[in-house]
């Protein structure tokens, strides 16, 4: 499953399927202090005049991510993150336990984030593809690819992804200053 982002920022974006049907919406207000992202998902409604289910513009609250929380994640290991002035900076990976009882680890890498099962197998669960720039044609849209190994925890993947991307965004801003 690919979830395509409407913008390059996962913190302020809609997430659509390959048919451009919006499935999730993430809103993060710009403010000082602790940021809270609100995540909503589309729910079918029966307002279609033909009597079929419509997936248009009706959202239900999925959750909120308070970006300074430490209760849900633990830090584990280090990953290389970008380079500036010939220095490589390191960023801590984040581990959480999902509702299925398994541990998962977000690997925060130089240009992307990827989620693996934290059991030594390193089974890939999700992968963030950053927006790609092209000289000719449309730019490649940013997307979150969720593999079969994560299909049963899509909501948890999305919520934790928003958290780790906030960490990544903060680091990028700090390196740019």
Task: Report pLDDT digits (tens) over 8-58.
Answer: 889 889 999 999 888 999 988 776 556 688 888 887 665 555 655 555 667
Q: Structure tokens of 146?
A: 């969720």
Q: Structure tokens of 110?
A: 């130089």
Rounded-to-integer distance, Cα 11 and Cα 167, Å: 11
The reply to whether the predicted model has a pTM over 0.75 is yes
Residue with tokens 């609250």: 61
Query: Using 50, 70 and 90 to split pLDDT, how confident is the model at 92?
Result: confident
Question: What would the mean pLDDT of 104-133 be, rounded to a whole number?
Answer: 89
Q: Structure tokens of 93?
A: 């990976």
Query: What are the phi and psi torsion angles at 140 (to 5°)?
Result: -70, 130
Q: Which residue has the higher pLDDT, 93 or 61?
A: 93
Q: What is the pLDDT of residue 177?
A: 64
Strand partners, 66: 36
**Contact predicate 17/35, CB 8 Å:** no
**Contact predicate 65/163, CB 8 Å:** yes
């Amino acid at each position: 499953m690919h979830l395509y982002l409407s913008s390059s920022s996962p913190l302020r974006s809609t997430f659509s399927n390959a048919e451009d049907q919006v499935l999730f919406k993430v809103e993060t207000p710009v403010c000082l202090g602790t940021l809270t992202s609100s995540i909503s998902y589309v729910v079918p409604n029966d307002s279609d005049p033909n009597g079929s289910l419509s997936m248009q513009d009706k959202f239900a609250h999925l959750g909120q991510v308070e970006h300074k929380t430490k209760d849900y994640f633990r830090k584990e290991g280090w990953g290389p993150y970008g380079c500036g002035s010939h220095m490589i900076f390191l960023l801590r990976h984040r581990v959480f336990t999902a509702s299925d009882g398994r541990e998962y680890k977000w690997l925060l890498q130089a240009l992307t984030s990827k989620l693996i099962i934290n059991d030594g197998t390193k089974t890939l669960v999700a992968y963030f593809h950053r927006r790609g720039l092209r000289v000719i044609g449309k730019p490649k849209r940013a997307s979150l690819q969720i593999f079969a190994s994560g299909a049963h925890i899509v909501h948890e993947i999305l919520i934790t992804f928003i958290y780790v991307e906030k960490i990544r965004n903060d680091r990028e801003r700090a390196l740019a200053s």
